[in-house]
Chains A and B, each alone.
Chain A
Amino acid sequence: MARSIAFRDALREAMSEEMRRDERVFLMGEEVAEYNGAYKVSQGMLAEFGAKRIIDTPIAELGFTAVGVGAAQNGLRPVVEFMTWNFAVLALDQILNTASKMLAMSGGQISCPIVFRGGNGSAGQLGAQHSTAFEAMYANIPGIKVVSPSNGYDAKGLLKQAIRYEEDPVMFMESEQMYGDKMEIPEEEYYIELGKADVKRKGTDVTIVSFNKMMKVALGAAAELEKEGISAEVIDLRTIRPLDWKTILESVKKTNRLVIVEEQWPFASVSSEISYVIQKEGFDYLDAPIRRITAADAPLHYAPNLVAAALPSIERTVKLVKEVMYLKK
């Protein structure tokens, strides 16, 4: 039986189900307990699990991240919530220099099974310091995995997988703008393996790859293109690291054209990596250059028109698809 629940509810169900299963799992972060979550993801969890396992922290990202990382090394399975990934930059030392490298530095002795999660990327007119999308930066780091789901169904399955089965640090990137999105989600438990992209829409003329909330742009563009008789296949990466490029390649073999839509800054972005691997593995299948739409190569400004101008849009995606198809307009 499925019922319609919000993205935030799906995340909560994922955490709660895993916490009921495993005493070692706990949730820590700013405002996760008594405030019921800055974005209400953890609403009601304090009441169910108590203060030992749903833990409010002071505003000290480096400190509580370090506590999570140390706790994971010493047998627990923490879920650490960042109010936004923008604040996690303060904790990057613990993620990059400790968590991601611990297994390697210790010659395989000390692992760090921990999930970091929170809102990521732009979320309206929040100004430069609350609007960065971090998938590409974290995806650069060996030793960790990076997940960035686009809907509640995927988010729940992926988060459950990360908490229960992943023994390596997982960066789980959500979006403040998707927390309210509703979707039919089964009542039965399910898990989704990390590292598997998902074809969200079948098509034959062009492949559009995206992830997180930019999937709305990709799917919106595909719907527009359909009206004009263009059949776009839309692939949702779901996991950024490891990257499931084989699913993209299989699609490109069929469509011979690839457009990537993402909210990263352009330099060394997710689209850069995809473009490299697809030109290498699929050179003979390409009928046009691989093209992309990223966020503008600038901090995100405040004014609404500047936000719109800086981020990918359905309009620009439709136009770019037509370019790679060598169509007029």
Chain B
Amino acid sequence: MASKFSKETYLYWYELMQLIRQFELIAEEKYKMEGKIRGFFHAYIGQEAIAAGCMTATKPDDKFITAYRDHGLAIAKGVSVDSCMAELYGKATGCAKGKGGSMHFFGKKENFFGGHGIVGAQIGTGTGLAFAEKYNGTDNVVLCYFGDGAARQGILHESFNLAMLWKLPVIYICENNNYAMGTSVERTSNVVDIYKLADGYEMPADQLDGMHPETVHEGVARAVKRAREGGGPTLLEIKTYRYKGHSISDPQKYRTKEEVDEYKAKDPIALVRDVILNNKFAAEKDLEAIDKRVDDIVNASVKFAEESPWPNDDEVLKDIYVDQNYPFIVD
């Protein structure tokens, strides 16, 4: 089947998705086997096609903001892999100087606004990012990500209402991986089609297959076009699946191995790989070369993180206030 998307796009998607996945696989190993990474750690594995499709449907000046499952989107936005790995290690060279950890990746110059740990809070904050874009008269848009669990928070409704009232350039992206920690979507609401929550605010909405960057790209591109043209927000419910538990410590007793395997059979990276080969965008050996490049980047990031220094102890009282003369209470 001929593809609507170019060779370059497909190869970009493939490399980005592999980079995100290999980054997380090696990070998880460093967490579980070596204890070098600690804290809550939420893997994006299985959801990479969303990051890929969103990247090609937006431009660098567009802002991304997400929750704590943030590694994939930070890397997609261009936050350096070295600084991401160093952040997981808690090192001074991390993308938040070792102050954020897995859940709080940030890259202001890459327009990646985090990395937020309170379920749903970034729906409101992201709406505010979009408010500033409109206020300043830019044509930038904000992609504001949250999970199916966050769709049940009150902030979603206040944000949707304000974004529609003021026609803010924000695309709300619900990455519906079917589980709010261990609670399936069906067990959280009478409304299981999350995109329908937009109806209460007469907000345009769409439900997309999140296992393929093509469908993600097309749906996001429609929403982005509307937002850039002043048409206001869109809610996109993107159906996806996380292969890993909610976090690294999740025993996953709420779902079967068969269910996970069923989704793994639809793996977005394998799918993109097939399209590339079938369309002769590249040969096996070219993809192997990409895989090798990705491995090199990821392995180098581990070396970088391991060799990087810890933050100095005096960083405890730094970056709390912009005001450099703030008189902290010290005893």
Contact = CB atoms under 8 A, between A and B. Distances in A.
- Chain A: number of interface residues, binned into ranges: 35 or more
B83 to A, nearest CB: 10
A66 B323 contact: no
Contact of B158 (A60, A71, A280): A60
B132 A70 contact: yes
A55 to B, nearest CB: 8
B99 interface: yes
B158 A62 contact: yes
Contact of B124 (A62, A75, A166, A195): A62
A76 B326 CA distance: 23
B99 A66 contact: no
B53 interface: no
A167 interface: yes
A98 B121 contact: yes
Given A63-B124, A68-B128, A107 B106 contact: yes
A110 interface: yes
A64 B95 contact: no
Contacts of B136: 75-76
A110 B162 contact: no
Interface string B97-139: 1111000101110000111111001011111111111011000
A195 B327 CA distance: 9
B322 interface: yes
Interface in A160-206: 166-168, 195
Range, interface on chain B: 35 or more
A71 B135 contact: yes
A142 interface: yes
Contacts of B154: 62
B178 interface: no
Contacts of A97: 117-118, 121
A194 B158 CA distance: 33
Given A98-B121, A107-B99, A66 B327 contact: no
B318 interface: yes
B320 A66 contact: no
Nearest to B323: A168
Nearest to B127: A67
For A65, A72, A74, A106, the residue with the greatest tally of chain B CB atoms inside 10 Å of its CB is A74
A104 B320 contact: yes
Given A110-B106, A242-B327, A93 B121 contact: yes
Contacts of B118: 93, 97-98
A229 interface: no
A167 to B, nearest CB: 4
Given A26-B135, A57-B162, A63-B158, A108 B319 contact: yes
Interface of B: 63, 65, 94-100, 104, 106-108, 113-118, 121, 123-133, 135-136, 154-155, 157-159, 161-162, 165, 318-323, 326-329, 331
Interface of A: 26, 52, 57-58, 60, 62-76, 93-94, 97-98, 102-111, 113, 142-143, 166-168, 195, 242, 277, 280
